[in-house]
Structure 1
């Protein structure tokens, strides 16, 4: 796998490149396209991208930008993930999860979007969430959707 890591954040406690690579490799599985950009940003950039590309004027945890070349052009690049470090950190605390587990979930979730999974409809969401659970369980990470009691 070819990973380009871009750090555009002042946040501390970011995952190591080796961890990001391991999580990405797990989510890529049998995907032929194995080139990927992961850009870690702060809230201003996340908010701007979320507003410009999704019409939502707030920062979000992960954005996925699939790369689509013309059919006649063989390409290894799958797409880009933009992960907002402060949002991921806040969510991990609010959800009572280890930060590394939530980062792994965001990488897996984003790559599944790049691979064509979605969660707009209930049926799609169930398929995508089950795949996330399986991939994360394979890395000994608990179900990210479990309800805290």
Structure 2
């Protein structure tokens, strides 16, 4: 079971629907073999909020595509709180255009990518990047989308 809280804090056009977001999250978690009930939040923001969060939490003064905030609790909870994803709508739209990707496919990729970060996957070193990106490619294929990393060897 997945409990997904979706917060639309952007007036951007062409935002994914709640059913689309839930489908992408479910497929990402299934692809990563997450079987426990989980709860997470996706907040879709504009550039100003995205930049402020990136600056305050990562010391990078620009809006980025997706930020993940894993939840870390020292107590036992009835459901696993994965954390929060913050996705910046104008950055996703700009990147999709620049990379000549379908906007919907790029949205799906940002959700998948963020979910994997919440589960502890990372891409800081090359070995971890290969593991995470290979899983992203498989999940995106399951969703019916092309490889989000077509210029890299996998």
TM-score range with shorter-chain normalisation?
A: over 0.9
Whether 1:122 and 2:126 are equivalent positions in the alignment is yes
Q: 2:52 aligns with which of 19, 38, 48?
A: 48
- TM-score, normalising length: structure 1: 0.95
Match of residue 146 from structure 1: 150
- Cα drift, residue 33 of structure 1: 4.3
5+ residue gaps, structure 1? none
Q: Are the aligned partners of 1:105 and 1:132 in contact in 2 as well (CA < 8 Å)?
A: yes
Aligned counterparts of 2:55 and 2:86: Cα–Cα separation in 1: 14
- TM-score, normalising length: structure 2: 0.92
Aligned counterparts of 1:146 and 1:72: Cα–Cα separation in 2: 41
- Cα drift, residue 74 of structure 1: 4.3
RMSD: 1.3
Aligned residues: 148
Moved over 6 A (4+): none
5+ residue gaps, structure 2? none
Q: Are the aligned partners of 1:2 and 1:34 in contact in 2 as well (CA < 8 Å)?
A: yes
What do residues 71-124 of structure 1 show as CA deviations (whole Å, max 9, x unaligned)? 444442111000000000000000011000000000000000000000110111
